[in-house]
Structure 1
Amino acid sequence: GAGGSGLTAAYELLRIGCRPIVYEAETSASGPGGRRLGGRMFSLRMAPQDSAVVELGCMRVPESAKLLRQYTDLFGLHWRPFRDDYAADVTPWTVLDVDGVTRAVREITDLYPGDELFRQAHTRWQEALERVGLTALREAVAARDPAGIRRTWGGLVARFETWSFYRFLRDPDGVGLTWDQARLLGTAGVGTAAWDTFYELGVLEVFRLLLATEGGSTHYLHEGLSAVAEAFWTRRTSAPDGRFTSLAEVNGGAPRPRVTALEVGETADEGVVVHSEDGRAEHFSAVVFTPQLHVLETSVEVRPARPGGAAPFGPRLLRAIRRLNYWQSAKTALVTDTPFWTGTSLDGVTLTDRLPRATYTLDYGEPPEPGGRRAVLVLSFTWAKDAVKVGPSTLDERVAVLTRELARVHPEVAEELRRRVARGGACTISWELERNFRGLCRFSRPGEHNYQWDLFAHFMKDFAGAPAVPGEAPNPLFLAGDDTAWSSGWLDHALASGLNAAWGVLRYLGGDTLPDNPGPGDVWGDRLYRPVTAPTAATTSAPGPGSDRAEPGSDAEPGPGPGTGSDRATAATSVHEPAEGRDRLVTAERLWDGERMRSGRAARVLVRDGRFEAVGEDVAPPADAEVVDLPGHTLLAGLIDCHVHVLDEGLNTAPIGTQLLRALPALRDLLANGFTTVRDLGSGDHPGTVDLRDALAAGIVEGPRMVVAPNILSASGGHGDKEPALTTRFGLRVGTLADGVEQVVNQVRGQARAGADWIKFAASGGFSSPVDSPATVTYGQAEVDALVGAATDLGLPCAVHAFNDEAVRRSVRAGVRSVEHANLAGAETFALLAERGVFLVPTLQVVFHHLDRLDDDGFWADKPGFLRTKFADLAEPLRASAGLLADSDVTLAFGTDASLVPYDETWREFTAMTRVGISPERALAAATGAAADLLRAPDLGRVRPGCVADLVAVPGDPLADIAVMGGVDFVMQAGVVRRR
């Protein structure tokens, strides 16, 4: 085939001395020998004098298409920015037309002010992508971190392989949208298409599309993408013997015609006999076959070369071929002499729930000859059910109805649009009606990941010592093309499949790669470069509505640990603890999986290599697995305390060694009480928690894994200014103090330099600081905005110490991720937190720890007098605010403010939460799933396949008596039993 994959394979094989003979089924009067080159690269120039090109197939290319760009640079072709939706730098307007309401915007967030439903839907979508680990995956890809990519992608595969895109949008474990929100978001688009037409896709396919396009712009080829195929065909290149030649020369100026049959031998000597529609039969040592694979069932016969010979495809690969899903796609375009839409609402992209669905405008510049046309209006680009609507319609019928609908969306340009249409110059295509394509490309539905894996792996044959696809014969037939690409629909991946096949042919014919330039198959044995497989066993993990509820893992890997945009933070917060080397089956009476309680046989967990391998009643442990049975117990995901201080504030002026050593018992107490992860929110002025975090990650000391904000940034005289007397008497400033925009920005950068995972700052006074009040605000809006902005630029989330309404509101406006305390806030402030998706860590136990003892002189004997005075003065507002939490919609995360409460009593936060009416379920979620979401740690806080094996157990049922959380008697951290 002379599409992108076939031409890539042929061109590279030509360069190493092979003689590639090309066959092509597509015809074109203007193509070499009457054959059309390019496959889905189908660029139509309607007249020779036009500069305008209609891309009937591939239309735009993301910045991530490095392989394609390498070739276009070699061929001297030119990219131009594509006017994609919401791309404000190149697209004048994106018009969204839904339910008869039309809005023109520049960026997608411009839709927020006038559409609260869309704002909620879009922000939840973005939050969900971050929560499930796609943000971490993008960061790993950008950092070229194979281990991080595999770990994170494997976790997504394990969890979501059976999920549809629509389920991900609607399920509470996904985005959690309402029906109306999902409908609106699907029309507005969250990528390169109006994606409600893709609701049936597997969500993994959607993730791949996002990885290819999000975070970068898209481009179109000025010469048209068919120019890539023409360049592959005509470009002369040097063979190993020094001769210059081209595919065109080797093939006598034209490809062979359509293939009708392949007779496949079992060795290179037997080779493959290729039969073509002109009656010719030719023998070749190897064949790279790049069709739409359904033709293997309809129009190309593949049979053994001799009677009784091995079948060309094994049953497993045939299963994958037969179950491929191709997606209908229709495109209709109008070529005009000028971009008549300039300055109108049509100037850019239109997304609508009407028949056109998506409309684009392109200007190819001055035509090469007088009378040529330069502009293209893509009247409609549709997929799936929307494409089927126009399938039976003629070109004229399509143009008429599309023009009618666009005129209603853009009334100011309607008459001119009709005039241009009347002049002619339109063209159309329905790819599902094309004999050799039967759809524009393959996309996977839920449950098809392993089919995709088999097709991708076909090129490996048995080069690694055993068939990469079990049952597959090591014959000289290699599949390539979009069907075998890892991310379908994108030309770059089709080209990559051609490179894979070319490597396979090279190896099959006895060649090899150079040591310093390995090919794709040379690294197949390295698990970092071999695609993960999807789970095949059934479990009851991640339950939710519908039947596609299970996603256990085979070799799929879990997602990232808590982390941020900084390399140091990612390294420090990833989980490196070794497992103990054998499988464990842990059973109990109940299981809190981070989101809900299960009971009976559902409370069975299989642990392997430090991760949860399977969960639920169908878990089948290996015969040699150790069984840990905890009758009468409740298993819970490892607990997360999102607000601790493991360095004693009373030792601010002590040597740092003393401070660090005194922290070790605190770490042991936290872990023994079930807290396998903690977020430390800062000490005075030495970033000692960074060293503790790294020591824990390296296994030098034992305790919870840590995420740290090294210090508390504070205004002078604020909550972080704990020793003002030293400043007054000796001029010594103890604390990380900053006043004014310049100083707060500098301190944020200093925290990043020290190795921060988070930035913590005080926007209000506090109780334990000597000269301020929790009711006062200590930073102005400009300071808070500058501080949070600097942290955001560095990829560091912010946690704010804020007790009162104004301090909280200023911080939320600036974009903090979590608010600590808010114990003087009112209902409107809690509603604001819920609306903005900001987490609240209420630290209730530390409040009641002091309020309940106001009359106990012995308790206050060794504490500063101002502390008791503050709690006494604010006792009633504190109690009133706590009473509002139960009825609020704010997302709560568990935090204790230890060391202000003893480290071995942090469990009492559970009882404090239920004391004010918070349900036990909400309290448990705050310390598990919600806490993991706050830390952006999708593989922590939940018991599901692929997650880190953090597990604790308590005797009894915490939903019946939350106080049993004080009786933790089993702790597993990353598969290692720490307490039993």
Structure 2
Amino acid sequence: MTTPIVPDSTAAAPQPPLTMFGPDFPFAYDDFVTAAAGIGSIPEQAHGKRVAVIGAGLSGTLVARELLRMGLKPVVYEADQIGGRMRSVAFDGYPGITAEMGSMRFPPSSTTLFHYLDSMGLKTQPFPNPLSDAAPSTVVDLKGEKHFARSLADLPAVYSEVAEAWNRTLEEQAQATELGDAIRNRDVAAIQRIWGDLVRTHDDTTFYGFLCQSDAFKSFALREIFGQVGFGTGGWDTDFPNSILEILRVVCTAADDHHRGIVGGSSQLPQRLWSTPVDDAAHWPAGTSVQSLHDGGVTRPGVVKLRRTHPGTITITDEAGTIDTFDAAVFTGQGWMLLNTIDTDEKMLPIDHWTAIERTHYMGSSKVFVLVDRPFWKDIDPTTGREVMSMTLTDRMSRGTYLLDFGDDQPGLICLSYTWADDSLKLLPLDPTERMDLMLKSLAEIYPGVDIRSHVIASPVTLSWETERDFMGAFKANLPGHYRYQRRLYTHFMQDRLPAEYRGFFLAGDDVSWTAGWAEGAVQTALNAVWGVMTHFGGHTADGNPGPGDVFDDIAPIDLD
């Protein structure tokens, strides 16, 4: 049930697609990384210098790979496993079938991300979001009423009314078409003008407050349906307390549309960034990979202590008790780790940046998966003539249920439940079997004639990101009034603006990005950090291919102060 921002129908020629170009920092990261000249170099005297990379998720492994390419020696620390929230859980004896406990769907508008997917030889396929072309059918179950649909037109008229209300609200209150056209055409001046006005107007506005300001959503019933079912990936109500700017960034860049999954599991991308040789690297011989630069081919253990030491170096203690010192370090983990699980010297960051980290707001999220003997949901009910089970959106405990088909002669996978925020917290006391039982109870009310349990062939797998010690949440979601905090963290890579005593320690990753929860943001902030480290060692970008820091003053996020 997607509602993409459509291009201007009066345009004389076809317009390019929406990409995640801005809107806060409209830099063409996709063009930057695909330029033949490369993304930069460092002086020969800096070759081989060691840089600590803390965290081996997507951002950390990408930072390490690009630093290696420049001739530096990345030293990667990881407290959990390579991949971070790109965590694919395999089932013994069933190769190729993985449960995506974190990232599982990626919009084609993530063009920089897809560059790295392509370069690592990974394939994608359409992800079966509700009412998408990849989902054979969808069932919407609200307040005990069940509706079967293959498209929005199959649902009762009130759902089309909700969709129209959302489109009208975006147009009237967010200049959706004009902003979308500016992003399509990479018109930086227009993006900065429109988005700047939206930031100034709505920094203090919740998502729910934004809806309430619209005449189209005067009806509470429409707001309730929109919250419970939503568009694209499902209901929006768990996002209602968050800043509307968070939502506008998603819809104006098509981040919630036409999703694709990574064949074989999303964790393959960070794993390949770690293990695949970089044959065009400066200084290092052909065949060198990030992994090959590490003793035993494994990351160092998690970091437990960070401090600044003379002269301008950064000293790290890891879980094994090893102490090592570096000329620079990049931190790609969840920011809250710097407050609690890592004993961090306050001199690592300016006080305003510490304030921004302390104000971080994370969304909790839980998933429950079961492996089944076959994609039985495609069986046809002789009474109704429809599939016996569908992609499901409901106000019951399961909220969102996804059916993943690996072929008629292969086992199938069901994400019984995908929940957020308060809905995720409701599951915390329950073990995997209890969670499965609860979701099967919900689904039995929707599909009373379907015995899902009889098809289950492996123990359920589940994860709640808010209880993971090294994450403490699924991803960041700014609350109203948080724009200034986000700006401080995102722009931290511009360290010539910082006092000298705070330089050399760089922030990157999902926390720092403007589009937390979308892998493209982790990629973009990784490239910012790479540019920052390169500059820290006296390097520069190639002629004709300026980096994000080279053009920063021209396209910097607006400063509300």
TM over 0.5: yes
**In 2, Cα distance between equivalents of 1:377 and 1:154:** 42
Matched, 1:357 2:399: yes
CA contact (8 A) 1:161 1:446 kept: yes
Matched, 1:40 2:85: yes
Q: How far is the alpha carbon of 1:361 from its aligned partner?
A: 1.0
Structure 2 unaligned residues grouped into runs of 5+? 1-54, 381-386
Q: Assess, with a 3 A threshold, how the Cα gap between structure 1 residues 212 and 59 changes in structure 2: closer, same or farther.
A: farther
Q: How far is the alpha carbon of 1:241 from its aligned partner?
A: 3.4
Q: In the alignment, which residue of structure 2 is the partner of 1:525?
A: 553
Aligned with residue 110 of structure 1, among 127, 136, 154: 154
CA contact (8 A) 2:398 2:419 kept: yes
Aligned with residue 164 of structure 2, among 99, 102, 123: 123
Where 2:131 maps in the other structure, the secondary structure is coil
**In 2, Cα distance between equivalents of 1:394 and 1:154:** 46
The aligned length equals: 497
Q: In the alignment, which residue of structure 2 is the partner of 1:164?
A: 206
For residues 895-910 of structure 1, what are the structure 2 equivalents within 5 Å? Answer: none
Structure 1 residue ranges, 4+ long, deviating more than 6 angstroms after superposition: none
Where 2:74 maps in the other structure, the secondary structure is coil
**In 2, Cα distance between equivalents of 1:150 and 1:510:** 31
Q: Assess, with a 3 A threshold, how the Cα gap between structure 1 residues 67 and 48 changes in structure 2: closer, same or farther.
A: farther
Aligned with residue 177 of structure 1, among 212, 218, 241: 218
Aligned with residue 248 of structure 1, among 291, 299, 304: 291
CA contact (8 A) 2:100 2:266 kept: yes
Matched, 1:419 2:454: yes
Q: Assess, with a 3 A threshold, how the Cα gap between structure 1 residues 151 and 271 changes in structure 2: closer, same or farther.
A: same
Q: How far is the alpha carbon of 1:425 from its aligned partner?
A: 3.5
Q: Assess, with a 3 A threshold, how the Cα gap between structure 1 residues 75 and 512 changes in structure 2: closer, same or farther.
A: same
**In 2, Cα distance between equivalents of 1:530 and 1:48:** 51
**In 2, Cα distance between equivalents of 1:19 and 1:491:** 25
Q: Which amino acid aligns with 1:226?
A: S
Aligned with residue 56 of structure 1, among 84, 97, 101: 101
Q: Assess, with a 3 A threshold, how the Cα gap between structure 1 residues 491 and 100 changes in structure 2: closer, same or farther.
A: same
Matched, 1:340 2:376: yes
Aligned with residue 434 of structure 2, among 384, 394, 397: 397
Structure 1 unaligned residues grouped into runs of 5+? 27-35, 305-310, 368-372, 537-980
CA contact (8 A) 2:169 2:214 kept: no
Q: In the alignment, which residue of structure 2 is the partner of 1:568?
A: none
For residues 254-265 of structure 1, what are the structure 2 equivalents within 5 Å? Answer: 254-265=298-309
CA contact (8 A) 2:337 2:470 kept: yes
**In 2, Cα distance between equivalents of 1:255 and 1:505:** 20
Q: Assess, with a 3 A threshold, how the Cα gap between structure 1 residues 346 and 379 changes in structure 2: closer, same or farther.
A: farther
**In 1, Cα distance between equivalents of 2:83 and 2:214:** 43
For residues 843-922 of structure 1, what are the structure 2 equivalents within 5 Å? Answer: none
**In 2, Cα distance between equivalents of 1:496 and 1:394:** 37
CA contact (8 A) 2:312 2:501 kept: no
Q: How far is the alpha carbon of 1:273 from its aligned partner?
A: 0.8
**Bigger radius of gyration, 1 or 2?**
1
Q: Assess, with a 3 A threshold, how the Cα gap between structure 1 residues 472 and 241 changes in structure 2: closer, same or farther.
A: closer
Q: Assess, with a 3 A threshold, how the Cα gap between structure 1 residues 156 and 279 changes in structure 2: closer, same or farther.
A: same
Q: Which amino acid aligns with 1:103?
A: H
After TM superposition, the score normalised by the length of structure 1 is 0.49
**In 1, Cα distance between equivalents of 2:430 and 2:201:** 42
CA contact (8 A) 1:97 1:409 kept: yes
Q: Assess, with a 3 A threshold, how the Cα gap between structure 1 residues 325 and 504 changes in structure 2: closer, same or farther.
A: same
For residues 157-306 of structure 1, what are the structure 2 equivalents within 5 Å? Answer: 157-172=199-214, 175-213=216-254, 216-238=257-279, 239-241=281-283, 243-244=285-286, 245-252=288-295, 253-265=297-309, 269-303=311-345
For residues 500-511 of structure 1, what are the structure 2 equivalents within 5 Å? Answer: 500-511=528-539
Superposed CA deviations along residues 539-558 of structure 1, whole A, max 9, x for unmatched, are xxxxxxxxxxxxxxxxxxxx
Q: Assess, with a 3 A threshold, how the Cα gap between structure 1 residues 49 and 366 changes in structure 2: closer, same or farther.
A: farther
Q: How far is the alpha carbon of 1:366 from its aligned partner?
A: 7.9
Q: How far is the alpha carbon of 1:346 from its aligned partner?
A: 5.9
Aligned with residue 6 of structure 1, among 54, 60, 68: 60
CA contact (8 A) 1:93 1:346 kept: no
**In 2, Cα distance between equivalents of 1:348 and 1:476:** 52
Q: In the alignment, which residue of structure 2 is the partner of 1:134?
A: 176
Q: Assess, with a 3 A threshold, how the Cα gap between structure 1 residues 156 and 472 changes in structure 2: closer, same or farther.
A: farther
Q: How far is the alpha carbon of 1:205 from its aligned partner?
A: 0.3
**In 1, Cα distance between equivalents of 2:411 and 2:248:** 36
Q: Assess, with a 3 A threshold, how the Cα gap between structure 1 residues 530 and 48 changes in structure 2: closer, same or farther.
A: farther
**In 2, Cα distance between equivalents of 1:365 and 1:258:** 39
**In 1, Cα distance between equivalents of 2:418 and 2:460:** 14
Q: Assess, with a 3 A threshold, how the Cα gap between structure 1 residues 210 and 473 changes in structure 2: closer, same or farther.
A: farther
For residues 571-582 of structure 1, what are the structure 2 equivalents within 5 Å? Answer: none
Q: Which amino acid aligns with 1:400?
A: D
Where 2:73 maps in the other structure, the secondary structure is coil
Where 1:95 maps in the other structure, the secondary structure is strand
**In 1, Cα distance between equivalents of 2:379 and 2:558:** 49
CA contact (8 A) 1:460 1:521 kept: yes
Q: Which amino acid aligns with 2:366?
A: A
CA contact (8 A) 1:50 1:374 kept: no
**In 2, Cα distance between equivalents of 1:216 and 1:382:** 19
Aligned with residue 423 of structure 2, among 386, 389, 394: 386
Aligned with residue 123 of structure 2, among 68, 75, 78: 78
Aligned with residue 331 of structure 1, among 355, 359, 367: 367
Q: In the alignment, which residue of structure 2 is the partner of 1:65?
A: 110
Superposed CA deviations along residues 851-899 of structure 1, whole A, max 9, x for unmatched, are xxxxxxxxxxxxxxxxxxxxxxxxxxxxxxxxxxxxxxxxxxxxxxxxx
Q: In the alignment, which residue of structure 1 is the partner of 2:518?
A: 490
For residues 370-385 of structure 1, what are the structure 2 equivalents within 5 Å? Answer: 374-385=411-422
Matched, 1:96 2:140: yes
Matched, 1:319 2:355: yes
CA contact (8 A) 2:373 2:455 kept: no
Q: How far is the alpha carbon of 1:124 from its aligned partner?
A: 1.6
Q: Which amino acid aligns with 2:421?
A: A
Matched, 1:513 2:535: no
RMSD: 1.8
Q: Which amino acid aligns with 1:444?
A: N
**In 1, Cα distance between equivalents of 2:186 and 2:101:** 34
**In 2, Cα distance between equivalents of 1:99 and 1:40:** 33
**In 2, Cα distance between equivalents of 1:420 and 1:366:** 14
**In 1, Cα distance between equivalents of 2:163 and 2:500:** 45
Q: Which amino acid aligns with 2:271?
A: E
CA contact (8 A) 1:265 1:476 kept: no
Q: Assess, with a 3 A threshold, how the Cα gap between structure 1 residues 198 and 472 changes in structure 2: closer, same or farther.
A: farther
Where 1:331 maps in the other structure, the secondary structure is strand
**In 1, Cα distance between equivalents of 2:257 and 2:469:** 35
Where 2:180 maps in the other structure, the secondary structure is helix
Q: How far is the alpha carbon of 1:410 from its aligned partner?
A: 1.8
For residues 774-793 of structure 1, what are the structure 2 equivalents within 5 Å? Answer: none
**In 2, Cα distance between equivalents of 1:286 and 1:162:** 36
Q: How far is the alpha carbon of 1:512 from its aligned partner?
A: 0.9
- Larger RCO: 1 or 2 (CA < 8 Å, sep 6+): 2
For residues 663-702 of structure 1, what are the structure 2 equivalents within 5 Å? Answer: none
**In 2, Cα distance between equivalents of 1:181 and 1:216:** 22
**In 1, Cα distance between equivalents of 2:163 and 2:245:** 19
After TM superposition, the score normalised by the length of structure 2 is 0.85
**In 2, Cα distance between equivalents of 1:72 and 1:48:** 26
CA contact (8 A) 1:51 1:365 kept: no
Superposed CA deviations along residues 225-279 of structure 1, whole A, max 9, x for unmatched, are 110011011100132136120011001200000101111247xx53211110101
CA contact (8 A) 1:264 1:477 kept: no
**In 1, Cα distance between equivalents of 2:525 and 2:60:** 9
